[in-house]
């Protein structure tokens, strides 16, 4: 019984980690219709920024905003230089971001080498019956919830959020009433990258920074967004929690390979049933 | 069309034959991962090769002439290994090849060097079992490392063992050896988990470990997976109750990367640690640091390459020729050499290196303290399966299940 | 139809065959003289070109970005080699085993993935992600997949060794080809595949595939089951990738999971983009160029940063060099040729000749049977709280034109879409000629005689006027000659007989509308639906259109959804008024215009009708 409880808690934690990594991608996809195949590399960029900041003496808690800033600035540049020129060209955007992802990966290898110091995980743990669980990964459940709430507030309570949703829904109309949709799009993309940077930074104690860490996340994050469909926040949350928790539970009772396989197969099944995503017919918008 | 093709074939055949009997020089080929995800190993392997060649050339070289090195960067990509191996052989006409890190790179290269009939040295720790006339292994095999490690682990911690390994050959075969040596030493494997290379979620594994209640864990994941796992293992407070041992921790300087609280107390077993105390190593480290600096500790793969180059040079000088047949005969004549990791000797039959195996403990300073030294450990499994003196035509990769 | 092509234009038109032929002859000619090492490396370039061509087929022609071609490539390589290892000793020749197995494997795996994608009508982004993750999944699985099949040992991440090289001879003494002969062999195999695919793509199959890429919805509205074409195209490409994989395995004598890696997959779109997407031969140019560059730079300059540079190259290619080298060359050449669309200026305004149209309709009735009535019974369609089609029961018969009008938001277009099959009704039925087609896919409705003219002109811009009409006609007749005849007839009806070769994109908006109408007529429809056909037409064009509709209505069921009241009046037929998704009134236009209730809903006043 204890085992089952710990499995559930840590599976929820794994799902939260997946959600944290996926939210930036979901926001960009939901609001701009763009799949940023370099999303994993922005996570990596956030991780390395935070790492470098701590190596320069900045405490970890402050290194996180540094990471967010770095990735947001870089994201804005990418949007202006690349994404904006490919507006409406779905496949071309994917290809260009894919090229970017490989360039960033190799760039990181050249700059940082392939092994770099990690950030020790806080040595806090707690007991569930006979089992102990490290506290930090469980803390991620709270982080994911706060992130969701924060993004929701950003999109519904701020002027930017209103503009972003308008600019996407009817860009010409938005422009006609004075909303600079180009500027809004840049900000949206930058926010998506900033969220990725945040993920990389906050997950640093769990997932050490390596140039190839992007690849590890990318597959599950993309599949989650694709399963989720057009309702950005609620859809991704449901997909991450549903499929992610499921895969983790399977991994705990069988092997990790079985967990991965479960994830993929469930994706294929869900896409067969909901070709445009689970939330394609939902009435809520966010 | 057919006549043209066969004419072309004949022409090409004559050309390639004439290539083979060209005058043999003292050119060696080096293909390592200087860039890409594996460069932590590759750069050091290459550095070791260059350093060894420098030393040998300073002492007169081979056959009275300096060794010339043709070096390639495999970029951590398998296709580059085969491509550059072919280039080095066909175009550069090397007489010996030092290359490879992963087992897949070795397996890709072996057919090429067999066909070209030149000696090939594989210098990295691995799962064991490589066996053919032209291949010589200076890295330690899993059976070499595991035999001593498990024996020590059972007597130090207790009989119950949990295996945590990556889901590819190195992991699965090493796991087999854990089972094997556990049985021989009165231990018992109470559970095992194989992780794909892309996994970053260790929570399920940690649950399973706790459920199985082992005395110690054999942790074999690679790269960032190793670091991540060890950090979480420590953070969950498990290190106090359960021992952790590994045959590949430290091989890529993971101890530098892992935080002190996680790294302290981890047990590693390898053929070399920079902390090994003997005259040869002192000289070697001094030379290395003079040329390459003191930033990064020296990994075992570097010493494996150093040993390989020296053994090859010894063989060439002993045979007084760089022709493959002569060199192999010399290599099989029971060569030994005082290496930084102690005295090593090349086993004639299996082409593997009898060497010391060290058991070291991670300390709080991102380094190791050597606990135990096992001298002159043979590669038992390979010696059992692979007799290239009796059966020179053997070309296999033996795995325990085969 | 006149084809006054200059010699230069004729050379330009046939360059797709002549240039590759010359290239192949040169390649074979020099194959014996090449340095063996260069021949060895060049063989790989050609193999990569073949892999690139498989992507070009799916993406450049089919319009689907698949990041999974290397998956089929790898599978073909692995299983082709398993068969080759086990059986090549029997015959000596290894390729006779490896290539068909590779092709079969590639085609089969493409069939599975293709079925999942195309028959579920997955969105384009989802498609690309699915193909990408399929490849990565194979990469992960192959790291630990170990199996021994006969003599072949697949060893997980250690891969599979001892794959026989390319052996062409039969019998016991057959030897592996040396590099120069291997190069020639690979060139020959690739050339055969290239010309075969080219032949296929220049026929009706290729035409439909191209149309799906240009406008999938329109292609389906022409009655083609686009899913089947997409699947078949995908399978052919899969087979090609599988053959390339088998050739690669024979070239390198060793295979390993890295064939499924991301780095390997990255190269393929680059080859296609560098050479030019859609050209089929572009991929070869791309692979030879990039391979050659890497070769002459000695691997030194690019090594280590290869992935970095190629990643950046991909970005630049996508943004700037959209059509690749061949595309750029083509644009340059076209500048020196006479303007292909020079005849567009001589197109006269369309005048409808009643006798011509009546002949066409008579032929259509012989070919496709009597006109079919269109009926809806309690058709309802809701989107959450919005109900654009609310329990509508209407019947339309041939003889007189029927119009459906109503204020904005009345649900006219939605009603049309329900009739066509674009919106399957939530409840109720749609009957075509008495047959229930409520849940039939669009192409089936069209095949049963339903013609649809949407509001915007939907034509295939890249194709010529004649090709547009022909594609439509072929859908029903499935016979090249009959399609030629029908297309010619309609072309004449439109008065564009001299200008058949002009690209549809060069036409004006109104001319494109006419072309679209012509395409619908090529389908010999028994029921025709028009969605605001007069939109954007001049007064003269509207007059001719009204004339056409009235003639059509005598021999087919015609339903027109319209805003333009003048146009509706000229049709002189039955008018149905919809309001808030439901039936509101029916009659002739004069009576309805005088009806206060109808005026209310149009003017938004509540004098006689409460629910506005």
Ranges of each domain in chain C: 11-261, 354-603
* Residue C549 confidence class, pLDDT cut points 50, 70, 90: very high
Q: Look at residues B346, B100, B326 and name the one whose alpha carbon lies nearest to residue C254.
A: B100
The CATH number for B143-270, chosen from 1.10.3720.10, 3.30.499.10, 3.30.9.30, 3.40.50.2300, is 3.40.50.2300
The token duo for C517 is: 């109408």
Mean pLDDT of C426-435: 90
Q: Which CATH superfamily, name and number, covers B26-140+277-351+386-397?
A: Response regulator (3.40.50.2300)
Nearest CB partner across the interface for A268, out of C116, C308, C319: C116
Interface test with C, best of A38, A95, A227 (most C CBs within 10 A): A95
Q: Nearest residue of A to residue B210 by CA position?
A: A131
- Give the pLDDT mean for A135-145: 89
Strands (E), chain A: 125-128, 131-134
State the average pLDDT over residues A159-180. 71
- Give C65's contacts in chain A (Cβ within 8 Å): 91, 94-95
Of C146, C181, C303, the CB nearest to B75: C303
Mean pLDDT for A121-127 is: 81
| Cβ contact C206:C61 at 8 Å | yes
Q: Which residues, including other chains, have CB under 8 Å from residue C25's CB and lie 6 or more apart?
A: none
Spatial separation of the C-alpha atoms in residues C310 and C312, rounded to whole Å: 5
At C362 the pLDDT is 87
Contact A48/B at CB under 8 A: no
Nearest to C208 by CA among C228, C190, C238: C228
The verdict on a CB contact (< 8 Å) between B172 and C156 is: yes
Chain C within 8 Å of B144 (Cβ-Cβ)? no
pLDDT of residue A191: 93
Least confident of A13-22, B143-152, B255-264, C239-248: B255-264
Report phi then psi at C543, rounded to 5: -60, -50
Does C11-261 carry CATH code 1.10.3470?
yes
Does any CB of chain A come closer than 8 Å to the CB of residue B364? no
Mean pLDDT of C477-488: 91
A contact chains, 3+ CB pairs < 8 A: B, C
State both tokens at A119: 């950030």
Q: What pTM value is reported for the model? A: 0.85
Q: Is A259 on the interface with C (CB under 8 A)?
A: no
Q: Which residues of B touch C161 (CB under 8 A)?
A: 107-108, 110-111
In Å, how far is A107's CA from the nearest CA of chain B? 10
Give the pLDDT band (50/70/90) at residue B237. confident
Three-class DSSP category at C465: helix
Subunit contact A219:B236, Cβ cutoff 8 A: no
Q: What is the CATH number of domain C354-603?
A: 3.40.50.300
Are the beta carbons of B108 and C175 separated by less than 8 Å?
Answer: no
A207: which chain B residues are within 8 Å (Cβ-Cβ)?
A: 200, 224, 228
Contact indicator for C70, C241 with CB cutoff of 8 Å: yes
Establish if C140 touches chain B: CB-CB under 8 angstroms: yes
Share of chain A above pLDDT 90, in %: 25
A210 touches chain B (CB under 8 A): yes
Partners for C (CB, 8 Å, 3+ pairs)?
A, B
How near does any CA of chain A get to the CA of B201, in Å?
A: 7
- Quickly count: other Cβ atoms within 10 Å of residue B337's Cβ: 16
Picking from B16, B91, B168, the nearest residue to C156 by CB comes out as B168
**C-beta separation of A24 from A193 below 8 A:** yes
The domains of chain A are located at 2-211
Give B387 or C340, the one with higher predicted confidence.
Answer: B387
Does the distance separating the beta carbons of C121 and A275 come in below 8 Å? yes
The candidate with the shortest Cα–Cα distance to A60, out of A46, A73, A74, is A46
Query: Which residues, 6+ apart, have CB-to-CB distance to C332 below 8 Å?
Result: none
User: What is the mean pLDDT of the segment spanning B242-247?
Assistant: 92
pLDDT band at C329 (very low <50, low <70, confident <90, very high): confident
Interface check for A184 against chain B (CB to CB < 8 A): the answer is no
Tell me what pLDDT residue B11 has: 41
A132 with B37: Cβ contact below 8 A? no
Q: Which residue of C lies nearest to A269 if distances are taken between CA atoms?
A: C116
Q: What is the DSSP string of C238-252?
A: HHHHHHHHHHHHHHH
Q: What is the pLDDT of residue C366?
A: 86
Q: What is the mean pLDDT of residues A29-43?
A: 88
Q: Is the pLDDT of residue A169 over 70?
A: no
CA angle (B129, B351, B323) in 5-degree steps:
130
- Write out pLDDT tens, residues A74-113: 999 999 999 888 877 877 888 899 889 989 988 888 788 7
- The rounded Cα A66 to chain-centroid distance in angstroms is 17
Kindly report, residue by residue over B303-332, the tens digit of the pLDDT: 999 999 999 999 999 999 889 999 999 999
Beta carbons of C311 and A99 less than 8 Å apart = yes
CA atoms within 13 A on the CB side of C281: 19
CB contact under 8 A, B200 and A255: no
Helix (H) or strand (E) holding B317, with range, is helix B300-319
Work out the mean pLDDT of chain C and round it to a whole number: 88
Assembly ipTM: 0.82
Distance CA C251, CA C189 (A): 14
Per-residue model confidence (pLDDT) at position A175: 63
Question: What are the chain B neighbours of C181 within 8 Å (beta carbons)?
Answer: 5, 8-9, 12
What are C121-124's contacts with CB under 8 Å, separation 24+?
C121/A275, C121/C227, C122/A271, C122/A275, C122/A276, C123/A275, C123/A276, C124/A90, C124/A91, C124/C64, C124/C65
The pLDDT value recorded for residue B19 is: 38
Domain boundaries, chain B: 26-140+277-351+386-397, 143-270
Decide if A91 touches C, using CB distance below 8 A: yes
CA distance C430 to C213: 30
3-state class (DSSP) for residue C432: strand
Highest mean pLDDT range out of B220-224, B365-369, C246-250, C369-373? Answer: C246-250
B35, B197, B399 ranked by CB distance to C304: nearest: B35
pLDDT at A170: 65
Least Cα separation, residue A86 to chain B (angstroms): 30
Query: B35 to chain C: which residues are within 8 Å by CB?
Result: 303-305
Q: What is the pLDDT of residue C184?
A: 93
pLDDT at residue C91 tops 60 = yes
Candidates C460, C443, C439; CA nearest to C452 is C443
């Amino acid at each position: 019984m204890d085992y089952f409880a710990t499995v559930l808690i840590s599976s929820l934690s794994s799902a939260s980690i997946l959600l944290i990594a996926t939210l930036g991608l979901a926001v960009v996809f939901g609001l701009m219709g763009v799949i940023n195949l370099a999303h994993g590399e922005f996570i990596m960029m956030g991780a390395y920024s935070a790492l470098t900041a701590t190596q320069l003496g900045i405490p970890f808690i402050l290194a996180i905003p540094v990471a967010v800033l770095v990735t947001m600035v870089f994201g804005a540049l990418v949007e202006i230089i690349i994404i904006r020129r490919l507006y409406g060209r779905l496949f071309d955007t994917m290809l260009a971001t894919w090229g970017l992802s490989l360039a960033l990966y190799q760039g990181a290898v050249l700059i940082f080498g392939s092994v770099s110091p990690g950030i020790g995980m806080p040595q806090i743990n707690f007991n569930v019956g006979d089992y102990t669980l490290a506290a930090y990964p469980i803390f991620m459940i709270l982080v994911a919830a706060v992130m969701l709430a924060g993004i929701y507030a950003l999109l519904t309570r701020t002027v930017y959020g209103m503009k972003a949703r308008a600019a996407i829904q009817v860009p010409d109309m938005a422009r006609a009433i004075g909303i600079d949709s180009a500027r809004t799009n840049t900000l949206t993309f930058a926010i998506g990258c900033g969220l990725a940077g945040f993920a990389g930074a906050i997950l640093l104690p769990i997932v050490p920074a390596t140039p190839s860490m992007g690849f590890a996340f990318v597959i599950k994050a993309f599949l989650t967004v694709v399963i989720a469909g057009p309702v950005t926040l609620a859809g991704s949350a449901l997909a991450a929690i549903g499929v992610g928790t499921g895969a983790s539970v399977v991994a705990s009772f069988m092997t990790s390979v079985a967990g991965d396989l479960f994830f993929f197969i469930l994706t294929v099944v869900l896409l067969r049933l909901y070709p445009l995503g689970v939330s394609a017919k939902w009435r809520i918008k966010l | 069309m057919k006549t043209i093709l066969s004419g072309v074939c004949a022409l090409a055949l004559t050309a390639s034959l004439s290539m083979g009997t060209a005058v043999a020089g003292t050119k060696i080929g080096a293909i390592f991962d200087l860039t890409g995800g594996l460069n932590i190993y590759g750069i050091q392997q290459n550095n070791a090769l260059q350093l060894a060649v420098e030393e040998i050339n300073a002492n007169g070289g081979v056959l009275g002439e300096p060794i010339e090195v043709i070096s390639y960067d495999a970029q951590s990509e398998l296709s580059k290994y085969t491509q550059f191996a072919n280039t080095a052989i066909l175009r550069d006409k090397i007489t010996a090849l030092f290359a490879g890190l992963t087992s897949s790179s070795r397996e890709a290269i072996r057919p090429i060097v067999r066909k070209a009939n030149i000696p090939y040295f594989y210098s990295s720790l691995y799962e064991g079992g490589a066996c053919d006339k032209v291949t010589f292994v200076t890295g330690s095999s899993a059976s070499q490392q595991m035999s001593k490690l498990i024996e020590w682990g059972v007597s130090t911690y207790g009989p119950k063992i949990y295996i945590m390994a990556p889901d590819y050959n190195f992991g699965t075969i090493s796991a087999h050896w854990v089972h094997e040596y556990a049985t021989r030493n009165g231990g018992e494997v109470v559970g095992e988990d194989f992780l794909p290379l892309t996994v970053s979620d260790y929570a399920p594994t940690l649950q399973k470990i706790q459920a199985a209640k082992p005395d110690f864990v054999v942790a074999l994941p690679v790269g960032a997976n190793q670091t991540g796992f060890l950090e979480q293992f420590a953070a969950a407070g498990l290190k106090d109750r359960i021992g952790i041992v590994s045959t590949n921790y430290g091989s890529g300087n993971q101890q530098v990367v892992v935080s002190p609280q996680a790294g302290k107390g981890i047990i590693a077993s390898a053929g070399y640690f920079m902390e090994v105390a003997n005259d040869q190593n002192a000289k070697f480290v001094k030379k290395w640091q003079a040329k390459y600096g003191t930033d990064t500790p020296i990994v075992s793969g570097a010493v494996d390459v150093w040993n390989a180059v020296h053994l090859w040079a010894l063989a060439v000088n002993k045979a007084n020729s760089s022709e493959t047949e002569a060199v192999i005969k010399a290599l099989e004549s029971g060569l030994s050499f005082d290496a930084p990791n102690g005295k090593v000797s090349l086993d004639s039959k299996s082409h593997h290196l009898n060497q010391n195996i060290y058991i070291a403990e991670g300390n709080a300073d991102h380094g190791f303290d050597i606990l135990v030294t096992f001298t002159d450990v043979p590669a038992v499994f390979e010696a059992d399966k692979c007799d290239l003196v009796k059966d020179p035509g053997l070309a296999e990769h033996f795995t325990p299940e085969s | 139809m006149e084809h006054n092509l200059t010699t230069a234009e004729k050379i330009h038109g046939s360059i797709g065959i002549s240039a590759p032929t010359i290239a192949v002859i040169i390649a074979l000619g020099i194959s014996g003289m090449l340095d063996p090492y260069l021949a060895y490396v060049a063989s790989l370039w050609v193999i990569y070109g073949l892999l690139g061509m498989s992507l070009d087929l799916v993406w450049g022609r089919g319009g689907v970005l698949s990041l999974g071609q290397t998956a089929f490539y790898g599978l073909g390589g692995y299983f082709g080699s398993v068969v080759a290892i086990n059986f090549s000793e029997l015959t000596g020749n290894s390729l006779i085993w490896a290539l068909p197995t590779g092709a079969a494997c590639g085609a089969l795996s493409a069939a599975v993935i293709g079925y999942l994608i195309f028959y579920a009508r997955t969105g384009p982004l989802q498609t690309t992600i699915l193909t990408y993750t399929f490849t990565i999944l194979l990469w992960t699985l192959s790291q630990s997949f170990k199996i021994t099949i006969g003599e072949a040992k697949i060893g997980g991440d250690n891969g599979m060794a001892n794959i026989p090289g390319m052996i062409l001879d039969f019998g016991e003494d057959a030897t592996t080809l040396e590099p120069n002969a291997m190069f020639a062999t690979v060139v020959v195999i690739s050339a055969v595949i290239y010309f075969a695919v080219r032949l296929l793509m220049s026929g009706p199959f290729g035409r439909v595939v191209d149309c799906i890429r240009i406008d999938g919805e329109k292609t389906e509205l022409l009655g083609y089951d686009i899913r089947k074409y997409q699947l078949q195209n995908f399978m052919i490409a899969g087979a090609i990738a599988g053959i390339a994989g088998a050739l690669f395995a024979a070239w390198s004598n060793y295979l390993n999971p890295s064939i499924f890696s991301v780095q390997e997959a990255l190269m393929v779109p680059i080859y296609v983009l560098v050479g030019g997407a859609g050209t089929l031969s572009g991929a070869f140019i791309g692979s030879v160029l990039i391979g050659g560059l890497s070769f002459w730079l000695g691997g030194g300059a690019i090594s280590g940063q290869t992935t970095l540079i190629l990643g950046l190259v991909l970005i630049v290619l996508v943004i700037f060099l959209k059509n690749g080298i061949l595309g750029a060359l083509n644009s340059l050449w076209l500048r020196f040729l006479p303007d292909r669309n020079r005849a567009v200026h001589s197109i006269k305004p369309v005048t409808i000749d009643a006798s011509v149209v009546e002949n066409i309709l008579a032929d259509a009735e012989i070919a496709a049977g009597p006109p079919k009535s269109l009926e809806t019974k309690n058709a309802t369609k809701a989107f959450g709280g919005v109900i654009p089609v609310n329990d509508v029961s209407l019947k339309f018969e041939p003889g007189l034109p029927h119009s459906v009008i109503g204020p904005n938001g009345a649900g006219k277009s939605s009603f049309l879409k329900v009739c066509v099959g674009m919106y399957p009704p939530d409840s109720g039925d749609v009957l075509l000629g008495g047959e229930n087609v409520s849940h039939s896919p669009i192409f089936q409705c069209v095949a049963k005689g339903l013609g649809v003219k949407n509001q915007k002109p939907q034509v295939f811009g890249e194709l010529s006027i004649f090709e547009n009409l022909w594609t439509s006609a072929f859908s029903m007749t499935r016979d090249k000659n009959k399609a030629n005849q029908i297309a010619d007839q309609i072309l004449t009806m439109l008065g564009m007989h001299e200008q058949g070769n002009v690209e549809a994109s060069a036409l004006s908006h109104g001319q494109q509308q006419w072309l679209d109408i012509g395409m619908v007529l090529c389908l010999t429809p028994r029921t025709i639906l028009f969605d605001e056909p007069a939109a954007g037409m001049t007064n003269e064009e509207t007059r001719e259109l009204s004339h056409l509709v009235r003639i059509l209505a005598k021999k087919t069921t015609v339903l027109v959804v319209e805003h333009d009241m003048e146009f509706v009046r000229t049709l002189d037929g039955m008018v149905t008024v919809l309001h808030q998704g439901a039936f509101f009134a029916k009659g002739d236009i004069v009576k309805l215009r005088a009806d206060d209730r109808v005026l209310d809903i149009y003017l938004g006043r509540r004098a006689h009708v409460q629910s506005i």
